[in-house]
Structure 1
């Protein structure tokens, strides 16, 4: 039971969220007894960009690992938690992305925490793109080194910030594709700026893997796999349809993370079923570039119907007049059997609430077209009501 000053503080924060229109919840949206492949609604809200969470090969790989290794890795990777399936996953990720080494973490969040905290340290500074994911900002704070932001996707501003830090060891963190605005980072220019200043560039490919570069990510699409001082992080929970994360880097960086990344050292290893599912998904994406082509085609079709510029990734975001209008439209669409997400403050970097519409490679074009038109109509109704 929570009482006294803590009860009053919790009530005050809840009231503030209601006033701001930022109340969140965790409803069950698809039904506890939903059979695999038998969705009751059209899901344009999740991060399952390629539909691989329901793929027969991916699910079979998870079952096989569950039967072979059990439900848990049972310990840290440094104790008894490293299983053959972890090595197989890391090899598959290297084949998919062209990177020379990989280290799997329990989540993408933990991968970013591990990379930034372990690669910074005493004497370093961190510069973050202003729109970088919360996990990168949290990692910078936890690194306990000076950190700041530079203007979003602005190589000139990054150059100025690095010039002010001449002689310092600086780590720069960006995303390849940003999920809110959907824009792709100018990676070649950022790589060039970092090379001029001998800075280390960490690129989070959470929204690039499975979508850009025939599924291999934006770094691979732009021919930057061999760029100097480049480290890539990724999640296994979006295009790969599983759970977990990884850092992709040269063997020297991998060895350093094994010895110093606290979110790796002190965490139980990735569950065997999740590791096996991600391994199977990575192999499928590497073998079939049509998946990435399909999700991008659906994304462009959604953007055209919503009359917005197509985003570089799978997520297309439709601006709304207010948080209340965005939430109301989201709930209205749910009643019509279509799930979309909702971006609103404080999660949006520019303060503009949006509907988050996720393209999926496994949906029929006719279903995508019908859903996109419904979203456009419902959004227009709620924008008009807000006006």
Structure 2
């Protein structure tokens, strides 16, 4: 067997386990309607929670930004890739979150793989929830700190691990809203542990920003948390409908990230046309509470209709992420295919993204969905084929 044959063998193994991913090309987007090939699909797969990705205010802001600054940032932010637009956005994010300082990254994955190694390294201790997102996991590995993984949301286990650590620097890292389960981390308890054990708390608020808290200020605002030990990372490609990410918190910590995060120092900055779109998005997030109210209503409508377990196990979630546990990989793919044939795009999520035996449909809701859209999804789920279903 040649080295090339070994990769073909690996792909065949993915096929046999129903684990190969498929990429589809979207030709057009009209709100929650996506054109794929010659079909229009109603999407329940997007993270555009507030329906802002195609909002005219964001499009116009991006066009103005492109006209003023061009398409590319041309260099790292620490060279000449940091425009006045970037500077204004960072101040506006800090004001919006009521935190001392914010730093803008070109992507959320880049933010986490950079900021974790910026805060801890060899000889330090890092404490991670077992269900953390891949970017936090990769950031942890790159840090070379001593990594301690605690069971999902198990505060008592984390307390024991922190008490046993003699490291001078300790960092607790967790998703705020877990992307595949839709549940929230017990952030008040985690912050109390950080205070008790002289640690920092880093929360990834990718799926909480714009959705939770007063005015959409995120998970920390949802729990009314304030502390110089708290550092918040949030993405601007989901509820904000644009691109990039921020790191916000104590000014000394944020400056440390800027000085040490390799994914910030050595990467070209995001175009100013994107930061202008984000600035427009922040104004809509803050002022249009009806979008969050509609999201909550959609979630309640879905849970009331399919929460009895006849279709699968709907995990408890008060966020736009509504995971329907199917269990078997093949059964999840069959249910996804059943919905696809009815014009509904709902992705099947399988290992290694989720633990073995917990394959699921990850239903994501948007304020751009109508009540009729939700009802159509419910009807299609209720009339699923029985063959191969659990």
TM-score range, shorter chain: over 0.9
Distance in 1 between the 2:96 and 2:367 partners? 18
Within a 5 Å distance, the mapping from 1:22-61 to structure 2 comes to 22-28=19-25, 30=26, 32-34=27-29, 39=34, 40-61=40-61
Query: TM-score normalised to the size of structure 1?
Result: 0.93
Q: Give ranges in structure 1 of 5+ residues lacking alignment.
A: none
Q: What residue is the counterpart of 1:221 in the other structure? A: 222
2:368 is matched with which residue: 362, 369, 377?
362
Q: Say which is worse superposed, 203-212 or 323-332, in terms of deviation.
A: 323-332
User: Are the aligned partners of 2:32 and 2:368 in contact in 1 as well (CA < 8 Å)?
Assistant: no
Q: 1:117 Cα deviation (Å)? A: 0.8
Q: What residue is the counterpart of 2:37 in the other structure? A: none
Q: What residue is the counterpart of 1:386 in the other structure? A: 389
Give the aligned CA root-mean-square deviation in angstroms.
1.7
**Structure-2 change in CA distance of 1:137 and 1:60 (3 Å):** same
User: Are the aligned partners of 2:118 and 2:261 in contact in 1 as well (CA < 8 Å)?
Assistant: yes
Distance in 2 between the 1:313 and 1:158 partners? 25
Q: 1:306 Cα deviation (Å)? A: 2.1
Within a 5 Å distance, the mapping from 1:329-344 to structure 2 comes to 329-344=335-350
Q: Give ranges in structure 2 of 5+ residues lacking alignment.
A: 35-39, 308-313
**Structure-2 change in CA distance of 1:260 and 1:170 (3 Å):** same
Distance in 1 between the 2:350 and 2:84 partners? 42
Q: 1:333 Cα deviation (Å)? A: 1.2
Distance in 1 between the 2:124 and 2:382 partners? 47
Q: What residue is the counterpart of 1:199 in the other structure? A: 199
Within a 5 Å distance, the mapping from 1:200-349 to structure 2 comes to 200-214=200-214, 215-224=216-225, 226-307=226-307, 308-349=314-355
Distance in 1 between the 2:249 and 2:203 partners? 11
Q: What residue is the counterpart of 1:371 in the other structure? A: 377
**Aligned length in residues:** 378
Query: TM-score normalised to the size of structure 2?
Result: 0.92
User: Are the aligned partners of 1:96 and 1:285 in contact in 2 as well (CA < 8 Å)?
Assistant: no
Specify the SS of the correspondent of 2:125: strand
Q: Quick check: which one's helix share is greater? A: 1
2:16 is matched with which residue: 14, 19, 26?
19
Deviations, residues 12-48 of structure 1 (Å, cap 9, x unaligned): 11011112210102111x4x24567864321110111
